Amino acid sequence: MSSCPSFCKLNHFSDDEYFHLPDVHTVEGLLDLISGCTLVILGNVVDFRTYCAPNQTEDDPTTAEQHRLWKEFDRNDILGDERMTMCYARGMALCVFEWIRGWCVVRNPEGGVIDDLPSKHVVQIMDALLAYKAKAEVGRLEGAPHCTLWMLKAQILNVVEWDSAIKKVWNERTGESSNSLRMTLDEGCKVEWRTDALYKFCKDSKCFSLTLFSIATLNVSSEIPSASRHDGLRS
């Protein structure tokens, strides 16, 4: 608890702050939460500094030694304290994924269960990023400075190894990439939460800040009347 004091205010949201929380009782709101977590999990993948050596500018050529240090020790232009912060945030996001997998059920219009939506979402994004980069290199289009296809793939494979559920979905890929950074579900899909989801998660969770976040997100729809929500948010 003392290790994350900056999150202690999560149980003191004002009405305006509640409006910014995704309503995880809806498909759109759940996808919003998964998308936010995905961005955090892919923080190193999409950060341009990941592909640069320390203090390397956009125009500086990469030396053989810099490539070696990057490949063997992941030495890049992101400062150490920031990298630690990114690791912590990534761990939080993976915990949210685990929470969703264990306590949330997403059903298709026919009533069938859509298994492990978080992993399917992040794998689709990673697959699409690799497809985009491959096409860009064929077309000689420049992207992030110093980033090559093999470097991007190395970072993505790091993500795959962090979580066994993500790795399983990654290894089950078949055919070509969807080339889409957006996951769409059929109309009529529904989100269900186990009635003991909040109690069980809070009881088992070792992360105080994540517990408070879960309380806020699961209670958001009951705390705010649907008629009072801002335009564009779930009702």
Listed by start position, the domains of the chain span 21-226
Give, for all 235 residues of the chain, the pLDDT tens digit.
Answer: 333 434 334 455 666 767 778 888 899 999 999 999 999 999 999 999 999 999 999 899 999 999 999 999 989 999 999 999 999 999 999 999 998 998 899 999 999 999 999 999 999 999 999 999 999 999 999 889 999 999 999 999 999 999 999 999 999 998 777 778 888 788 889 999 887 655 555 555 555 455 555 555 555 444 433 433 333 333 2
The number of helices, as runs of H, and strands, as runs of E, in the chain is 10, 2
How much is the pLDDT for 199?
Answer: 55
The structure's pTM equals 0.77
* CB burial readout 15-40, b (16+ within 10 A) else e: eeebeebbbbbbbebbbbbbbebbee
Give the Cα separation of 213 and 20 in Å (integer).
13
User: 17: which 2 tokens?
Assistant: 């702050």
How much is the pLDDT for 163?
Answer: 94
Closest CA to 144 of 41, 37, 67, 44: 44
How much is the pLDDT for 36?
Answer: 93
- Which stretch of DSSP H or E encloses residue 133? helix 117-138
Give the Cα separation of 191 and 105 in Å (integer).
6
* CB burial readout 67-102, b (16+ within 10 A) else e: eeebeeeeebbbeeeebeebeeebebbbbbbebbee
Give the Cα separation of 11 and 219 in Å (integer).
11
